Amino acid sequence: MLKNKLKTTNKNNLKKNILFLILIISNILLFAGLINYYSNIGMDFNIKTLEDVSAVLATIIILGFISLRLPNLKDLGDHPLYGMTTLVLICAIAILTSYFGEKLSIPTLLDPYLEMFKYLSAVLIFILIAINLKSFQGILKGKFTRKNQLACLVIFALIGLFASYVHMNVNDTPANIRCLVVMISGLFGGPIVGIPVGIISGAYRFTLGGITALPCSISTVISGIIGSLIFLWNGKRFPNLKESIALMFLFTGFEMLMIVLLTPPDISFPFVKDIYPIMLFASVVGMLLFSIVIWEQNQKSDFELSDEELKIKAIEEKLKENDEKIKDLENEVKDLKNEKTNSNSHKN
């Protein structure tokens, strides 16, 4: 039985790896298409822009290197080197923030992201309220009853419709977090929740019209399917933080590729260029916050087990111990029988 379980786990991990590989390839194709399109139309990159970009990249690498080394330095205890390194890091962030704030006009640069975060916050508030409902708490505890799943389906579908209706305009281009909501519904409730929510939200997006109606609708349905598959391949559990964020990051690129493939290049590439960074920001931050909430809820449920559940858990642990003892005894009996058989054969 253990071997069968391991085989199933390995197969599911292989399926997840293949899915992630497909999403990675789709992101590579997207960036290749963007580079090719803008190189053909002659988009200018002056020396000043290149200097700023290289400076920012170098800064990220340096700060990342220091940040990764800080936990190791902390092992030194009260050694002054740890305090000095932390101080240097804080000073570097402060100086660089001030420098690039003046050079790149940070307030203007951040305005669309702050506006998108406002819409993201509204959607997340509805989801967080729903998480505390009895049906959602039941699913968190692994009780996938029809009643619980139906309640989750209805609530996620309503939130998906709201996320489609509420959007921000970036250079007259609508940006929203509909696929984030649908992906979460699949990862949280599985195919019975995620796929219908994807179909409902996708159909509603199609009725809104526009040149990107078809690719956006298809992407919405696919997000529900992918979220549901990951849920099943993960043993009917919400994925860990890294996996969920990586999935949302890569799927946003896939969504942009669908727009590029199903709309004319002169419309799709400017569209993607305008909305991709903002939608990527909202999708990844939204998934991060929701994943943290799910983790906290799981921790909370572990501490809030009822007396009856604790007794059941204790009995299950005893049964498991007894099963191991029985297996050991069976092995001993087999060994004794083998010894007896061997001794009889020697006598003969």
Residue ranges covered by each domain of the chain: 7-43+140-304, 44-104, 308-338
In this prediction, residue 274 carries a pLDDT of 83
Nearest-angstrom CA–CA distance, 299 and 293: 10
pLDDT interval class at 127 (50, 70, 90): confident
CA–CA distance, 74 with 321 (Å, rounded to integer): 40
Q: How many CB atoms lie within 10 A of CB 166?
A: 14
Query: In terms of Cα–Cα distance, which of 284, 282, 291 is closest to 119?
Result: 282
Most confident of 98-112, 216-230, 304-318: 216-230
Q: Indicate the burial class of 301 (C-beta count within 10 angstroms; 0-12, 13-18, 19 or more).
A: middle
What pLDDT score does 266 carry? 86
pLDDT of residue 2: 54
**255 pLDDT exceeds 70?**
yes
Instruction: Give the model confidence (pLDDT) of 27-73 as tens digits.
Output: 999 989 888 888 887 654 444 444 544 554 555 555 555 555 555 55
What type of residue is 270? P
Stretch among 194-198, 255-259, 328-332 having the lowest mean pLDDT? 328-332
Per-residue confidence (pLDDT) for residue 45, from 0 to 100: 42
- The DSSP 8-state label assigned to residue 239 in this structure reads P
CA–CA separation, 234 and 319 (whole Å)? 26
Alpha helix segments (H runs only) across the chain: 2-40, 47-74, 80-103, 106-131, 134-140, 146-165, 178-189, 191-207, 213-233, 241-262, 265-303, 307-347
Domain 7-43+140-304 in this protein, CATH class: mainly alpha
When the pLDDT of each residue in the chain is averaged and rounded to a whole number, the result is 78
- Between vectors from CA 18 to CA 14 and to CA 21, what angle results, nearest 5°? 135
What is the tens place of the pLDDT at every residue in 155-197? 999 999 998 888 787 766 678 899 999 999 999 999 999 999 9
Q: Which two tokens stand for residue 69?
A: 């080394």
Residues in Cβ contact with 19 at an 8 Å cutoff, skipping those fewer than 6 apart: 226, 229, 230
Q: Quick one: which of 105, 115, 37 has its CA closest to 271? A: 37
